[in-house]
Amino acid sequence: MKPTALITGASGGIGYELAHLFAKAGYNLIIVARSEDKLIALKNELHDHPVTVIAQDLSKTGGAEKLYNRVKELGHTVQVLVNNAGFGLNGKFDELPLAEQQQMLQVNVASLTELTHLFLPDIKAAPLFDIPKGILNVASTAAFQPGPRMAVYYASKAYVLSFSEALVEELQGTGVTVTTLCPGATETNFFKRANAENTKLVNTTMSAEAVAKSGFLGFVKGKRVVIPGTLNQTLSIAAKVMPRSFSAKLAHYVDK
Ligand SMILES: NC(=O)c1ccc[n+]([C@@H]2O[C@H](COP(=O)([O-])OP(=O)(O)OC[C@H]3O[C@@H](n4cnc5c(N)ncnc54)[C@H](OP(=O)(O)O)[C@@H]3O)[C@@H](O)[C@H]2O)c1
């Protein structure tokens, strides 16, 4: 029997590339996003590979539970959960609509937490395969510092990193690994969606393919935290040692 990997946000960007990598490594796939047409196109690209498409909006309360119930109805058991779906919003906290920021928290934080809670018992109970089982959560280098003009987004990613690192400890000895992928700026639809196309962040992007490869290899090796690219690794170390007031000012400068 082959293990199944469920990947949220597989309709584009990093999640799309991760789907290709998990398929190539032999995992059956369940791919999730709102854009069903894009998910079907991805399934077609993977030809005869076993792929289940589930269109689900994870910004809605109850979206994670609906997704879990659908997976069960279809008779699947998930051994790898990739919480990749997420988005950012660029602008001052008090000027961005609260409802949109709440939706972002629902996708980036609440649905990620709920999906982990729902699928973890199945992942724990799954037998050990010759390829790993576990969780791959997509955070960001934003997790390491405060982010003026993207305050809620940066805070949401700090949550993902802290939550995931705590689970690593809780799951010691269970055979379940938890890896957090912390990409820096990556060439995807992220900046357009965030209305951040004109910020300095877009000057130092990595390809989604390279970021996904780094995250996939880190997951397979059971790494705790993966930061793709030397520049991102260096900046993350700098963010850890510099005063947070200064790193907030720096983030404010590049987010303009
Ligand atoms: N690109 C970057 O610079 C960067 C840097 C650090 C971290 N990240 C993180 O990487 C992850 C992937 O983002 P990306 O860069 O690949 O951006 P992307 O190309 O915009 O992809 C985002 C994915 O999330 C899905 N998604 C968004 N809202 C959703 C919702 N309400 N319900 C279900 N799925 C939803 C999108 O699908 P639909 O629109 O079809 O629903 C899409 O598949 C995110 O968590 C992001 O925060 C990105």
Judged against a pLDDT cut of 90, whether residue 204 lies above it is answered with no
Cα 13–91–241 angle (5° rounding)?
Answer: 80
Give yes or no for a contact between 160 and 139, defined as CB atoms under 8 angstroms apart: yes
In contact, 32 and 52? CB cutoff 8 Å: no
- Can 153 be counted among the known catalytic residues? yes
Find the CATH number of the domain harbouring 185.
3.40.50.720
Q: How many domains is the chain built from?
A: 1
* Residue 165 banded pLDDT, cuts 50, 70, 90: very high
Extract the tokens encoding 216: 């996939």
Probe ligand 1: pick from 36, 54, 87, max atoms within 8 Å of CB? 87
Give residues (CB < 6 A) around ligand 1. 8-15, 33-35, 38, 57-59, 84-88, 107, 138, 140, 183, 185-186, 188-190, 193, 208
Strand order from edge to edge, sheet including 177-181: 51-55, 28-33, 4-8, 80-83, 134-138, 177-181, 225-226
Between the CA of 173 and the centroid of ligand 1 the distance, in Å, is 32
| Residue numbers of the domain that contains 167 | 4-254
Q: Which of these ranges, 26-30, 35-39, 131-135, has the smallest mean pLDDT?
A: 131-135
DSSP helix, strand, coil percent of the chain (3-state; round to 5): 50, 15, 35
pLDDT per residue as tens digits for the range 211-250: 999 999 999 999 999 999 999 999 999 988 998 888 888 8
